[in-house]
Amino acid sequence: MWKEFREFISRGNVIELAVAFILGAAFGRIVTSLVNDILMPPIGLFLGEVDFSNLYINLSGESYPNFAAAQEAGAPTINYGLFVNTLVSFLILAFALFLVVRSFQRMQRKEQGAAPAEPTTKPCPYCFLVIPLKAVRCPDCTSDLAPAAEHG
């Protein structure tokens, strides 16, 4: 069983997937920081000095000065400000992944359509059977054909 596990882990796809997962997690942290530390403060300032991380609905009925105090007291809350931050992070991450996938698909399309294959067959001008490009006599109607260079 250990040998099978080592073979599974050493396959290229598994290692690539692990690297992609680690990079994705790091990229997620970067996006979260971008949203929380760079994007949301100016948006909150523009909306009248709103701190999105402090937006919550207190379900306990008691009054707390901020979200941290409500959380420390163990009050049940609906944290819609944190949800907005998470939603913005998700949208940025989804858009970045969309751009990466779109670029990858475009590269694949260019590689597939870059060089069309040279033809290896041609139709016989007499019976229209598909024959090899270099054929000088049709195997079906036995017509003499000009060399391939003349028919180009």
Dihedral pair phi/psi, residue 137, rounded to 5°: -145, 135
Summarised one tens digit per residue, pLDDT across range 78-96 is: 989 889 888 888 888 888 8
CA torsion 137→140→141→147, rounded to 10°? -20
Judged against a pLDDT cut of 50, whether residue 107 lies above it is answered with yes
pLDDT for the residue numbered 76: 93
pLDDT for the residue numbered 7: 74
pLDDT for the residue numbered 152: 44
For the ranges 30-44, 60-74, 79-93, 105-119, the lowest mean pLDDT is seen at 105-119
% pLDDT > 70, the chain: 90
Judged against a pLDDT cut of 60, whether residue 150 lies above it is answered with no
Summarised one tens digit per residue, pLDDT across range 2-53 is: 888 777 766 667 777 788 888 888 888 898 888 888 888 888 888 887 888 8
What single-letter amino acid sits at 124?
C
Alpha-carbon dihedral sign for residues 58, 63, 64, 66: positive
Dihedral pair phi/psi, residue 57, rounded to 5°: -110, 120
SS3 78: strand
pLDDT for the residue numbered 28: 87
Evaluate whether 136 touches 145 at the Cβ level (below 8 Å).
Answer: yes
Alpha-carbon dihedral sign for residues 89, 91, 95, 98: positive
Judged against a pLDDT cut of 50, whether residue 116 lies above it is answered with yes
Please give the helix or strand (H or E) that residue 131 lies within, else none.
Answer: strand 130-132
Judged against a pLDDT cut of 80, whether residue 132 lies above it is answered with yes
Evaluate whether 95 touches 88 at the Cβ level (below 8 Å).
Answer: no
* Backbone Cα Rg of the chain: 33
Q: List, in order, residues 6 or more apart from 96 with CB less than 8 Å away.
A: 27, 31
